[in-house]
Chains A and B, each alone.
Chain A
Amino acid sequence: MCGICGIVSTDGPPDLELLRRMMGRLGHRGPDGNGYYRDRRAALGHTRLAIIDTAGGAQPLCNEDETLWISFNGEIFNYVELREELRDRGHTFRTSSDTEVIVHAWEEWGADCFPRFNGQWAVALWDSREERLVLSRDRFGVRPLYYTRTPGALLFASEVKSLFADPRVERALDPAGLDQTLTYWSTVAPQTVFRGVEQLEPGHVAVLDRDGWRTSAYWSISFPEQGREPVQDARENAEALRERLVEASRLRFLRSDVPVGAYLSGGLDSSVTAAVISQYTDAPLHTFSLRFSEDDLDEGRYQKEMAARLGTQHEDVVVSPTDVAEVFPDVVRHAEAPLLRAAPAPLFLLSRLVRDNGYKVVVTGEGADEVLAGYDIFREARVRMFWARDPESAKRTRAAELLYPWMARSPGRMPAFARSFFGRNLDLADPALSHRPRWDSTSVLKGLLSADLRAEVGRTGAPDVVASMPPGSESWDPLSRAQWLEMTTLLSGYILSSQGERMLMANSVEGRFPFLDRDVVELAATLPARHKLFGLEEKYVLKQAFSDLVPPGILRRPKQPYRAPDAASFFTPDRPDWVEELTSERALREAGVFEPAPVAGLMAKGARTRGENMSNTDNMRVLAVVSTQLVHHTFIEDHDWSAQERALPPPEVAVDLVTHDRSS
């Protein structure tokens, strides 16, 4: 895992000082080394977190005749097998790195190399003979890749802050990006919240050459027609899933030249990955957990149970609301996006714990809830559809109690709740039936926007995700459509980004995700829906596959969604001064995003209640205001940038064909 950046210029050699400033803003992604390459048309920069071939894998790296250069962030987990295949085809290798495999794979197969990669990557290839830049991003967008255009140049980088090193890049929030965030919880690629800045879509490759700029998909998630799934036997599917997950976990644990740890949340997914590593590898395992000072959020009991069962060396960090507020400006600076939940903040603290223990790679259970249908949103959709088959049925109305046990204690509220929960915006023909309640309840937040911004949002409008659903998706099972929506919106834009990669890389830690392995995902997509969500039993096939490795108490416990203290974090007696300053009328008017009066009412309500027992919508409102104001303050007003740039050590690779200087 590393930071990459670059410039392709049409009006003279790229500015090397600009490239080095861009690299400096990616220092946290690659503290182990750095390097650059420049010719008369292009420049590539790299900051390195050394994990594979720590001695020989410095970047940018080139082919034998130095006409093809690469700057690469990520891992190709099947690089050993690909290297053998390429050797058989006559390629010779100078290093043991996966980076060099990409160079030769591109030479051998061109853009067809990307579907062969099983990994997580953002890569830039520069072919100096053809004057062609190629950018590629992994299937789910685990690794970030942004780009923007200035007069005479295209700039790309792992993070937006690197692009902002060029003063010619406009600094403004994009109403369409805010619109998407206040609907889907995040932007959907290529959209970002910054005007003029785009991100390469997951599973895509982009080319810039003499014929111009173009992007195309090399992969997209697809599901079989409902009822035509290839294997209908649950046991057979559980065995196949186990085989692939074991291999995916082993690859991610063993293919590293530095020690790899594992997260343990206390839930099923990370328990499975940690148990597999423990069972199928010989190396000792170090596990890391996040705990909360509030009992209702804490899962420490289950974490300890699993760690004891596996005999791991275990560390945890206990997070309080005060801790969340304290690190939140750093969290937003790394996430580079408004956040509707405070959940990324504890994960920032967890990756710090990992780093403090000397680790820079962890395996986690991320992706299981999307790939194997673990989220409540899938169960809610199934209950809504059950109710809709006979809305007059008193029995069907009670189905909501299976999701929300508190309703059994409040039977008087049930009919009214059922009508609002089940009936609102319910159309059985709607391909986004599963997600309408979330999107509707989130869109309420737009009521806080300033009049000008509301008008602009109305004029421009965010691209409609539903309209981009693949042809043929109408024949998928409804659960598959819901999974597609979840993977396209929340997984890439929030779970893997704001809550995932960015919080890990903030502390120079790489995350590896067995559930997002190419072969696991492609198998899971072919499973009948009932093997993933069996009635209302989530991740059914996963539980069947690993019932011998995970204790019954964890296997059968109801899923506890990962939540952190939200609004309450910003109304503690010792809250930091910036909360009040950034939500003041003056700051709100300067930013121009939110209407000051309703925000003042919201913050007064939070202060009165100390943020406790606020509704879900009010929690999201507080987070939206606080985080968006921080985004504006940090990125648009350009505060304290110099303090955030790292002074890079001398480069390991320095090739400048413009001045004919080189050292490597």
Chain B
Amino acid sequence: MSPDPDLVAQVLRDAEALREPDADPELEAIRTAILLEDSLGIVLTDDDIDPDVLGDPAAVARLVRGTP
């Protein structure tokens, strides 16, 4: 079952506000992965835990909604 869309939107909005632009991108991706897994009850693969995926709000939204 995919997470509640309203919850996803809210978590992504709040996560974006906390993003630290100057931090190590890989660590920021891990920080975001912890947040998403805990808040949305999903489990990400190592491929998902990637700055290119988790550093891009639109890509994150697609990932957690399970859309390409």
Contacts and interface: CB of A to CB of B under 8 A. Distances in A.
A283 B49 CA distance: 52
B22 interface: no
Given A233-B10, A535-B18, A395 B46 contact: yes
A534 B31 CA distance: 10
Contacts of B39: 530, 534-535
A243 interface: no
Contacts of B11: 530
A626 interface: no
A622 to B, nearest CB: 35
A398 B26 contact: yes
A398 B38 contact: no
A399 B30 CA distance: 6
Interface string B35-47: 1011100010010
A389 B10 CA distance: 24
A93 interface: no
Nearest to A387: B34
Nearest to B33: A386
B34 A399 contact: yes
Interface string B1-34: 0000011001100110010000010110111111
Interface residues of B, number: 23
B37 A537 contact: no
B43 A393 contact: no
B18 A398 contact: no
A224 to B, nearest CB: 16
Interface string A379-403: 0001101100110011110110110
B31 A402 contact: yes
B30 A398 contact: yes
Nearest to B40: A530
Interface in A359-388: 382-383, 385-386
A386 B15 CA distance: 17
A414 interface: no
Contacts of A529: 38
A232 interface: yes
A535 B26 contact: no
A390 B38 contact: no
Nearest to A398: B30
A234 B11 CA distance: 9
Contact of A401 (B27, B29, B43): B27
Contacts of A636: none
Per DSSP, chain A at the interface is: helix
A406 to B, nearest CB: 13
Contacts of A540: 14
Interface string A163-203: 00000000000000000000000000000000000000000
A394 B46 contact: yes
A396 B48 CA distance: 12
Contacts of A390: 43, 46
Interface string A535-548: 11100100000000
A535 B46 contact: no
Contact of A534 (B7, B18, B37): B18
Q: Which size bracket describes the interface of A in this complex? A: 20 to 34
Contacts of A232: 6-7, 10
A156 B33 CA distance: 53
Contacts of A396: 30, 46, 49
A28 to B, nearest CB: 46
Contacts of B26: 395, 398
B7 to A, nearest CB: 7
A386 B10 contact: no
Nearest to B13: A234
A227 to B, nearest CB: 8
A408 interface: yes
A124 to B, nearest CB: 45
B47 to A, nearest CB: 10
Contact of A535 (B6, B15, B27): B15
A37 B35 CA distance: 59
Nearest to A399: B30
A395 B49 contact: yes
B14 A536 contact: no
A536 B28 CA distance: 11
Given A234-B14, A535-B18, A530 B31 contact: no
B27 A534 contact: no
Contacts of B7: 232
B10 A408 contact: no
Contact of B38 (A234, A382, A394, A401): A382
B18 A537 contact: yes
Contacts of A401: 27
Contacts of B35: 530, 534-536
Given A385-B38, A530-B39, 16 more contacts: A233-B10, A382-B34, A382-B38, A386-B33, A393-B49, A395-B30, A395-B46, A396-B30, A401-B27, A408-B27, A530-B11, A534-B15, A535-B15, A535-B31, A535-B35, A535-B39
Pick the 4 closest A-B CB pairs, nearest first. A535-B35, A530-B39, A395-B49, A386-B34
Interface of B: 6-7, 10-11, 14-15, 18, 24, 26-27, 29-35, 37-39, 43, 46, 49
Interface of A: 232-234, 382-383, 385-386, 389-390, 393-396, 398-399, 401-402, 408, 529-530, 534-537, 540
26 contacts: A232-B6, A232-B7, A382-B34, A383-B34, A385-B38, A386-B33, A386-B37, A386-B38, A390-B46, A395-B26, A395-B29, A395-B33, A395-B46, A396-B46, A396-B49, A398-B26, A398-B27, A402-B30, A408-B27, A530-B35, A535-B18, A535-B31, A535-B32, A535-B39, A536-B31, A537-B18
